[in-house]
Amino acid sequence: MTGTDTGAATVTAAALALGDDALILSHRLGEWAGHAPVLEEEVALANIALDLLGQARILLSMVGDEDELAFLREERSFRNLQLVEQPNGDFAHTIARQLYFSVHQHELYAELARGEGPFAPLAAKAVKETAYHRDHAEQWTLRLGDGTEESRARMQAALQALWKFTGELFQPVEGLGGVDWAALEERWLAALTDVVERAGLTLPEGPRTGAWAAGAGRQGLHTESFGRMLAEMQHLHRSHPGASW
């Protein structure tokens, strides 16, 4: 941290953005508990959710009280990507969301870990976790794409449905000044193209942001289902303010 007011403010903005991504996706994955296709996948999704929750706790603690930030902010104060708040849908939708996000997060954290910014120590630890998340998503993309006719169709539909939320991944985040976002996007596209082709699928075409306001999550503008998710997530804390557990 630079110690100046602007420096601290931009670190706060970046920590909120990265922390909210991890927190919200963790919560979405937690919704799978007890509902995954097989027991082994249940454990894998829970593991990923726990990794993300750990990242969120560290990042939000850089900003303030992690519980207050998670449970007492309104929807408009959350800075997460619209991609991570999307509903789980079927298993293919969850995997497509994981694929788009975890390839991005892995590449971003690898770059942050190489730098000397305030996020380097966190990224150095989290990059190992995100490598696993990425591998998990890629493996499932290959299996669903190369599986039955139905699994292939579902995976293709999921990739298509979430495509319009991927442009936001590469909007520069205030406070992550050292990141080359254009190069990050190139690496992401190359990796996605590779895995999607190996899976026998096609990468969707068409705009990745647009008039539907995709790409506004970082400004606090969210999609419809996010409010319901927050209501569930924050219910207990808001019902018993100040309680300790």
Partner 1 sequence: MTQNWPLWEVFVRSRRGLSHTHAGSLHAPDAEMALRNARDLYTRRNEGISIWVVPSTAVTASSPDERDPFFAPSADKPYRHPTFYDIPEGVSHL
Q: Is 12 in the site for partner 1 (CB under 8 A)?
A: no
Contact 130, 102 (CB under 8 A): yes
Evaluate the CA torsion angle 200, 205, 208, 214 in order and state its sign.
Answer: negative
Give me the least distance between CB of 142 and partner 1, in Å please.
Answer: 9
Q: Is 124 in the site for partner 1 (CB under 8 A)?
A: no
Q: Is 35 in the site for partner 1 (CB under 8 A)?
A: no
Please pick, from the candidates 87, 132, 160, 209, the single residue that binds partner 1 as defined by CB under 8 A.
132
Q: Is 149 in the site for partner 1 (CB under 8 A)?
A: no
Contact letters for partner 1, residues 69-108 (x by CB under 8 A): ----------------------------------------
Report the alpha-carbon distance of residue 155 to residue 221 in Å, rounded. 27
Please pick, from the candidates 27, 93, 133, 136, the single residue that binds partner 1 as defined by CB under 8 A.
136
Please pick, from the candidates 3, 4, 5, 38, the single residue that binds partner 1 as defined by CB under 8 A.
38
First-to-final CA distance of the chain: 32
Q: Is 197 in the site for partner 1 (CB under 8 A)?
A: no
Which spans of this chain sit near partner 1 (rule: CB under 8 A)?
Answer: 38-40, 43-44, 47, 132, 135-136, 139, 143
